[in-house]
A and B are shown apart, each in its own frame.
Chain A
Amino acid sequence: MLLTGTFVAALLIDFTLPRLMPGNPVQTEVTNLIAAGFTLSPEAIKGMYALYGYNPNLPIYVQFYDYIVQLLHGNLGVSYIFFPQSVSYLIAQRLPWTIFLVSIAVAVSWIPGTFIGMFAAGKRNAKFDSIFTPLLNFISSIPNFWLGFLFLIFFAADLKIFPLFGAYSNTVTPGANLAFILSVLHHAILPILSLAIVAMGGYVIHMRNTMVGVMGDDFVLVARAKGLSNRRIVRTYAGANALLPNITMLAISMGAVFGGNILVETIFTYPGIGYLSAVAVSGEDYSLILGIFLIFTIAILVANLMADLLYAWLDPRVSLI
């Protein structure tokens, strides 16, 4: 229900924004082309409107109907910078790289982060707390793209042990061969670390705070009174219960992870959706920007859905139907 609402909201935003612009995107591009020295006949301009699937003279509901029909055909319009490639083609080409980067970054930050947070809550004393908490808060305050900047200047430009840009080197042929896979991993390590280190700080803090709350619950007191070891209480009693809010936190954080990924991919010139959106922004490629926003929304909805499924599987009290 919520997911449908969000999707409709994203569609409405994508449909409305270009129509609110003074002039319109196609007009802007026609003007740009004329300024660049092209002569456009009225037929050519009409053709441009048809190409971008945009006709301001039709009534608004007809425009919306056309827009939905085009979307159902997987047509998100034509890119302006990468003309004549279509937006959906460009996104399909770049999306696997982003999914690769983000899913590994989330896995290597959430799983250890949750466990560190779980055990940190078991060791609560003032001394540990006065070093551990500020340190984690500082880590999660670092802008991840800036961390990428530091990695590049130190490990890539200075020590030359990691590449400066791209997803694989031009000396390897893409395909299922070892050289390519190694090159991809070599290029992915720094971007993944930039995303994961910062995200992990947040997951640890959240898990620790949830654990501290759960450790104060009555059933933990009963477990203690029974004489169970602290280790067992932390792992099987409190840990299992604190895990559930941390899964919700994971779903909520996906938006921030995808957002931060735009900046990290830009720093590393990584050929995913994030870098593509930075390119689209600097080139004022309106169709591409709109298409990417829709894809980001869908990606977050899918992540939310997966978190819901995971939650229902882990907690028998929750039913999806």
Chain B
Amino acid sequence: MGGTAMALLYSFRSVMAVFWRNKKSLVGLIIVITFVLIAVLAPYESPYNPTGFSTGPAWQPPSLAHPMGTDYVGHDLWSQFVWGARISLEVGFLAGAMVQILGNTLGILSGYIGGKVDDGLMRIVDIFLTLPTLPLIILLIVFLPFHGPLVVTLVIVITSWAGHTRNMRAQSYSYRERDFILAAKASGYGSLRISFSEIFPNILSLAMAGMMYSIVAAIGAEAALDFLGLASGNTVSWGTMLYWAQSEGAIINGTWWWIVPPGLALALIGFGLVMMNYAFDELFNPRLRVL
């Protein structure tokens, strides 16, 4: 196990080195950290109640008292924005992590073991990849008797594990005949141990890239559900902000300050995560390195 820890530590250090060298991924990292800070510090940054009864004046443009203005009943939009960051990031990171665990385990094992198990699993993966994701998520959310951010997270994981599983499987499959894997096999290592201590460290950067994309997809799906009015109860999120903006006539009233921040935040967090990927990509595929 000492070897695995060393390999992981080595990978981690080389990842950090690439981050510092690659300015694109550094920008991405800074954007993501900024949003994480906004979300974590929400209770200290929001002077007003984001939902419930409001006392402020309605339809206010941005001012010192309300940095992002107020909505149609006078809720402070900045408070909604920072609490909304929590929902987006919680669902995004949790779903991303769960897709990771599922995709890494199933993908690497399936690729290494091969045979009928692999064939069967890949058939299921292909079906999940072809089914229309957002309509399926909507269908499940509408028909499931449970609600709340955790259910949304689980539904997103169920509908989006397949892509990452297939990528990991393809990589793992390409490693199964390599000499060091055969050597490990000959010295009596089991499938599980070979998968996680021999194959996994080699494809760690691809796993990280997959994680970034899963998080982006999950944040987008969560916002889409909330925008369609499928948010549960009093949830405040970037998606519900846009839902209320549309249903209460922000377009006709020209209240751009209600519309711009949540959508721009969704674009920026997605951008930040994808830019972080350039560091992982560079580690995994030296061909993409800009010389």
Q: Is B266 an interface residue (CB 8 A)?
A: yes
The one of A124, A209, A299 in contact with B290, judged by C-beta atoms closer than 8 angstroms, is A124
Residues of A within 8 A of B136 (CB): 13, 293
Task: Answer whether A150 and B138 are a contact pair too, CB < 8 Å, given A143-B223, A145-B227, A297-B132.
Answer: no
| CA–CA, A176 and B288, complex, Å | 52
Q: Is B267 an interface residue (CB 8 A)?
A: yes
| CA–CA, A212 and B274, complex, Å | 19
Q: Which residue of B lies closest to A292 (CB)?
A: B135
Residues of A within 8 A of B223 (CB): 143
| CA–CA, A124 and B291, complex, Å | 9
Cβ of A143 and Cβ of B251 under 8 Å apart? no
| CA–CA, A89 and B170, complex, Å | 43
Q: Is A43 an interface residue (CB 8 A)?
A: no
| CA–CA, A299 and B127, complex, Å | 15
Residues of A within 8 A of B220 (CB): 143
Residues of A within 8 A of B9 (CB): none
Q: Chain B's nearest CB lies how many Å from the CB of A269? A: 10
| CA–CA, A130 and B24, complex, Å | 8
Task: Answer whether A282 and B288 are a contact pair too, CB < 8 Å, given A9-B127, A9-B131.
Answer: no
Cβ of A158 and Cβ of B254 under 8 Å apart? yes
Contact-residue bracket for chain B: 35 or more
Q: Which of B37-45, B64-72, B99-107, B255-263 contacts A (4 or more CB under 8 A)?
A: B255-263
Q: Is B18 an interface residue (CB 8 A)?
A: no
Q: Is A6 an interface residue (CB 8 A)?
A: yes
Residues of A within 8 A of B123 (CB): 2, 5
What are 16 residue pairs bridging A and B, where the CB atoms are less than 8 Å apart in the complex?
A2-B127, A2-B130, A3-B130, A130-B24, A146-B266, A149-B242, A153-B259, A157-B254, A158-B254, A164-B251, A164-B252, A255-B130, A259-B133, A262-B135, A266-B228, A266-B246
List residues of B whose CB falls within 8 A of some A CB: 23-24, 27, 123, 126-127, 129-136, 138-140, 142-143, 145, 216, 220, 223-224, 227-230, 242, 245-246, 250-252, 254, 256, 259-260, 262-264, 266-268, 270-271, 274-275, 278, 287-288, 290-291
List residues of A whose CB falls within 8 A of some B CB: 2-3, 5-6, 9-10, 13, 17-18, 20-22, 124-126, 129-130, 133-134, 137-138, 140-143, 145-147, 149-150, 152-153, 156-158, 164, 209, 212-213, 216, 252, 255-256, 258-260, 262-263, 266-267, 277-278, 281-282, 284, 286, 289-290, 292-293, 296-297, 299-301, 304
